[in-house]
Structure 1
Amino acid sequence: MKALILSGGHGTRLRPLTYSQQKQLIPVANKPVLFYAIEDVIEAGIHEIGIIVGPNAEQVKETVLSEDWDADIEFIYQGDPKGLAHAILVARDYLGDDDFVMYLGDNILREGIVEHLRHFKDGDFDASILLQEVPNPQQFGVAELSEDGKTIKRLVEKPKVPPSNLALVGIYFFKPVIHEAVRNIKPSWRNELEITDAIQWLIDNGYRVGWTKVTGWWKDTGKPGDLLDANRLILDDIQTEIQVETKARIHGRVVIEKGTEIDEKTVIKGPVVIGKNVVIRNSYIGPYTSIGDNVVIENTEVEDSIILPDSEIRDAGRIVESLIGRGAKILRGSSHPSGRKFVLGDMSRVLL
C-alpha cells in the first residue's frame, strides 16, 4: 500500500506567512505540520510515500529530506492546484495499481490512521473516508449514511440543510478503481476536480464506500486560529524534558532543547516547547507557547503563541495569541502594555 500526501496549494488563508513558505511547513509545537502526516502514515506500516508539491516544491523537498524517514519518499509536481481529484490524476504513474491513502498535509489527527486503515482493509471497501461530528456542518462536505449506517449514501458539499453533522476529514483510503472515477468527473463551479464528486461517482456506480469516525481531535490548520488551536492540543500531551541547566522558574510541563540559555529572571509556565539555541532574558513565557530555534526574547511576556525560528522580540510588552514568522523582529515595547496580537510574515519588522 502507498500513501499520497498533499503539500501543494498557495495557502491564501495564512498570508502573509505563506508568501515566503509553504503552509504545510509552518510548525506546530516546533514540528512542521506536514511531518505529522508523514509520521501517521509510517506508523500505519506504509513505507512508500508520494508527496504532491506545487509552488514551493524545493522548499518542501529540502525540509522533508532534512529528516531520516523510515520510508521511500518521492515528490510529484502538481503545478497549479486544480482539486484533490486532480492530485490523484497527476500521481497516476506513481500510484500504479496499489491501494493508497490520501492525506491532506495540513491536517493533524491526534489518533493517527492505524484503526481507520484496518477498517478499510477488513471491510474490503473500494473507498473509505474519515468523518467527524461538527457543530457547523454547513461549512463542510457532509456525509449522508445508508439506512444501516455502514456505508455512505451521498456526499453533499456545504449544504444549506445538512443531512447529518458528519463532516469529511481530509484523509481518504482508495482502491485503484478511484482512477476510473477521477477520469469520469467534470470540474466543479470552482473549476476544480473535487474528490467528493469522485467518491460520489463510486457510490453511483455500485462501489462500496465505507467510513470511520474520528474519536480524538482533528484540526485542519488552514487559518492562523486553527494553527494556534492545534498547537494547544499538541502541547497538552507533552512531557517535561529539559536538556539545559537554568535557574529560571519553571512550572508545569516544559520542553527545552540543547543550546538554549534562559536567565534566572525568566518565568516559564507550561505547557511550553522551546527549541535549540534560544536566548530568553527577563521574560515570561506563558502556557501554550512554542518557540522555534535561534529565537531571542528579552523583557517580554509571550503567551498562547507560535514563534518561528530566528525571530527577535525585545521590550515588546505582552504578546498573546500570535503567530510570528521566521526572522521577524518586534522591538521597543511601551512600559504599560495591554496585550498585543500578531500574525507576522517572515522577516517582518515591527517597532512599538
Structure 2
Amino acid sequence: MRALMKVCLAGLLALSCVPEERRTLSPEVNIRASDGLQTLPWVPGGKFTVKVSVPKPENGQLCGPLNARADITTPTLDTGAVVTSTFALKQEGNCGAYAGLTELAWPTGGHFQARVSVVGEEQVFDLHMDEPKVELVRGNPTRKGGQLTVPLCIVSSAARGAVNLTVEGGTLDDGQTARRINLGTIPCDDQGVLEGPRKSWASAVLFTMAERAIMRADLEGRANDVLPVELLPDLESLELDLTFQPSTLPPPGSVFAVTVTATVAGGIADGVPVRIETTPEAEILPVNGVTDEQGTFTAYITVPEGIVSMRIDATSGALRRGKTLADSP
C-alpha cells in the first residue's frame, strides 16, 4: 500500500484511484485568435497566448502540482522571440480541473510550429501569424508660402500597437522630427493598398520646405526591423531664381541689388521665407525676408575691397540656389 501511495504522489502529478492503463490527462490547448480568424494577430513584440486546461477525470481524482511547457520549435535567430515557457497549472477546488496560460513571442510573423507538453503528453500545432507591415500613404499636399503641408496615413497589418515616425527635411505637426503614434481602429481617408486580415491606422501631418522629405515608419516592438524607408519625392518643388542690378559686379564700396523670385510649379509663390548669403562675406541689407505678392524679395549688398567676383546664395529651408557675379571683363 505504501508503494502504491508513493507512485500516486510522485512527480508533478498524483493520480489516485485511476487505473494505470487509464492515466492520461487529455489536456486541452487553445492558441486560437479570439476574433475567430484563422491567423494569429500581430501585436507588439509578436506575442501570443497559449492556454492549457486539464479536465477532471470521470473516474478517480487528479491531485497535486502540475506544470505545462510550451515551445516554438521553428528555428529563429530573432533575439526578440520567446520560444519556450514552463508554467504552472492552477487547480480548481479540491482535486478539480487544472488551467493555466503563458505567453510566447514570434516577432517576424508568418508560419511557425509550436509544441505543448503536459507530463509527457505532447500536442503539435502549425500556426500562422499576420506578418508585421507598415505602409505610409501621402495625401494631397497644400502649400502656403514656402511651407508644404502633407497629410499622412499610416496603415499597419498589426492588430494594435504603435508606429515610430522619423522625418528628414521637415517636421511633424508637433514641430518635432520624431514621434510615437498609437495605431487605432478608425481608418484614414486614404487607406493605401496594404492587405491583411486585420488592419490598424494612424494619421499625421508633415510640414516641409525642402524639395524632398524622407519619412520612416517603424512598427514598435518589431525586432531586427527591415521596413523600407519611405520617400515623398518631387512634392511640387519650390524654385528660387536670382537676378542682379547691375548684372556685373560693381567696384568695391558700391551697392548692388539681388532680387530673388520664388515659384511653385511655374507659378508665383508669395510668403516664402528667404535668406541671402555671400562668399566672401559682405554687408547685406536685409539678410532675411519673405517674398511679396509678386513672389519677389530684394536685398542690397555692399561690395567688399579686393574682390573680382562674388558668390550669392538664396536659401529657403533646405533649398539653396546661387549664382556667381563677376566684374566687367
Q: What band does the TM-score fall into relative to the shorter chain?
A: under 0.3
- Between structures 1 and 2, the one with greater strand share: 2
Larger radius of gyration: 2
- Between structures 1 and 2, the one with greater helix share: 1
**TM-score w.r.t. structure 2 length?**
0.22
**TM-score w.r.t. structure 1 length?**
0.21
